[in-house]
Structure 1
Amino acid sequence: MKDVVFTYVKNGPLVEPAQEEDLPRQMLGLLNWYKGYIKHKNAKEYIYAEVRYEHHFKHYWVQIPLSELFQLFNLRDLDKSIISCYVLMKKREMRIRNIHDVGFIDPHIVNSYVLEHHPADVEDDLWRFIRKQQQKSDILFPYHFGFHWILMVIKVQTSSVLVHDSLNMDPAIWGDMRKMMQKVWRRFVDTKVGEFKKELHFKMAVRTTGDIQPPGTNLSRYYIYKHTDSLDGRLGEAGELGVQVVAPEYMPTWGGAATAETESRRLTPGGREGGSGVCTENGEFRRQPSS
């Protein structure tokens, strides 16, 4: 008899009941929130995170399907939305810890799909992210193409890019993004006074045993978490390989439209008030006037 594969169903469990007691604290908190949220009669199949200019240099929304929470709990293939939330969480974490020399590029905004269909938007967004973060020592850029992720670390002062690839794939596969980055870099250098090289130098990171993804798996997203968390020991420990990405302590506004950073203020499901708005039971976000 074949084993029954545990799969996601609408309003179904995120983990097997026997596994709940073994969950880390933050994941257990997320699971309890999910159990409460799906009881609302108007609960949607997705939630939103609102990103404002002060969070990541432009205003946009990230849609997170609830099915992605199932994928996260079960360490399966993840969508861009979860990686995007991870990037936003890390930005907030670094502000709290007074780490100011690391920047990010949100893969929700810059990825292979947008590059293919809206190259002008990708150019403008890359230009914005580099220009706004030019004083950073490193700019971390998780890039998604096909069914794979790599992490590029842009080192502005040395005009170089260190590429972490858990599968060590042929760089020609993502050559279109490399060309776009060179184009944006030349645009950046032409407007700056300094000893910047005209071309970015790309170098593949030397892989160790723990950096190699097992063949036949789709776990490259989790290697992005690991490389990010272990960057010079500044961004925290890899620990749960980034599954804390959606922990309530970091993203406390999951009940519908959510802000990427709420500091000590909270928005919670079920219509309870927070510092800047209300999330209603059907997942809508209503902003309250400033006092």
Structure 2
Amino acid sequence: MEHQAIAASLSASACCCSCSLPFHWCCSSILKACGRGEEWIFVRFRDHHYFRGDDILHISFEELHQLYHMDALDKSIISSFCLLQMSELQRIQDTSVGFIDPYIVFKTDIIAKEQWVSEAQKNIMMFFMKQHDKTTILFSYNFEFHWILIVIDLNSSRLVILNSLRKERALYQDMIDIIQGVWKEFIRQHRKDCKAPLNVVEIPWCLR
């Protein structure tokens, strides 16, 4: 779908429903951007957010179109939402919560499984080490077009999984195994007050 048509669809949808003013403003801004031939929204973040230097997230108008029509939820949007939550936590001066970037750690079949496991282990360890002083680390994880929230409670050595569609654990067991392996090495080096393995708690009744 051409980006002009996407923006026009968003704008028309906003006019046909009782949306808030910010959403109307967003659609209007997208329509104007498309008129200039633009196709993306750029979200700038700093090294202290995701620990990979100052960088930019690229969110395409097509992904926003799919989000509005509840067709799909791209990792770039979830990553941006995490940045928004970081900003809110900073506003209320809450330094106890950390995040794993879902744009970096996600399920993919593009590369060999062994390579995916190795990269996931390396990245999760980096996020653990950079945030070893947190009490909670939040990790939005996508597999088979479904998002779950993995909550790592460092102080109680718990791994809580919020799974709204009640997907079978076997579908994301590989990620649990990766986190457990990384956790064991992490606490050996940085958090000797914690225990291994993590106690896994599944909560299937979160809001859909």
Q: Within 5 Å, give how 1:244-263 maps onto structure 2.
A: none
Aligned counterpart in structure 2 of residue 103 of structure 1, from 98, 107, 117: 98
Is the partner of 2:155 in helix, strand or coil?
helix
Aligned equivalents of 2:12, 2:122: Cα separation in 1: 47
Aligned counterpart in structure 2 of residue 66 of structure 1, from 46, 58, 61: 61
CA 1:170–1:206: 2 relative to 1, 3 Å: closer
CA 1:32–1:115: 2 relative to 1, 3 Å: farther
Aligned equivalents of 1:14, 1:99: Cα separation in 2: 39
Indicate yes or no: 2:157 matched with 1:153: no
Is the CA contact 1:150–1:164 (under 8 Å) kept in the aligned structure 2?
yes
Letter in 2 for 1:183: G
Indicate yes or no: 2:46 matched with 1:52: yes
Q: What is the identity percentage for the equivalent residue pairs of Structure 1 and Structure 2? A: 27
Unaligned runs of 5+ in 2: none
Indicate yes or no: 2:26 matched with 1:34: no
CA 1:61–1:18: 2 relative to 1, 3 Å: closer
Is the CA contact 1:62–1:108 (under 8 Å) kept in the aligned structure 2?
no
* Map of 2:4 onto structure 1: 11
Aligned equivalents of 1:25, 1:115: Cα separation in 2: 46
Q: Which has the higher helix share?
A: 2
CA 1:188–1:148: 2 relative to 1, 3 Å: same
Aligned length: 201
CA 1:33–1:185: 2 relative to 1, 3 Å: same
Unaligned runs of 5+ in 1: 1-7, 214-291
Is the partner of 2:189 in helix, strand or coil?
coil
Is the CA contact 2:4–2:34 (under 8 Å) kept in the aligned structure 1?
yes
TM-score, normalised to structure 1, is 0.63
1:186-231 superposed Cα distances (whole Å, 9 cap, x missing partner)? 11011135331121111112516xx2x4xxxxxxxxxxxxxxxxxx
* TM-aligned CA deviation for residue 177 of structure 1: 0.8
1:137-160 superposed Cα distances (whole Å, 9 cap, x missing partner)? 221110001111100111001111
Is the partner of 2:102 in helix, strand or coil?
coil
TM-score, normalised to structure 2, is 0.86
* TM-aligned CA deviation for residue 112 of structure 1: 0.9
Is the partner of 2:103 in helix, strand or coil?
coil
Greater relative CO (CA pairs within 8 A, separation 6+): 1
1:220-270 superposed Cα distances (whole Å, 9 cap, x missing partner)? xxxxxxxxxxxxxxxxxxxxxxxxxxxxxxxxxxxxxxxxxxxxxxxxxxx
Is the partner of 1:141 in helix, strand or coil?
strand
Is the CA contact 1:186–1:199 (under 8 Å) kept in the aligned structure 2?
yes
Is the partner of 1:15 in helix, strand or coil?
helix
* Map of 1:183 onto structure 2: 181
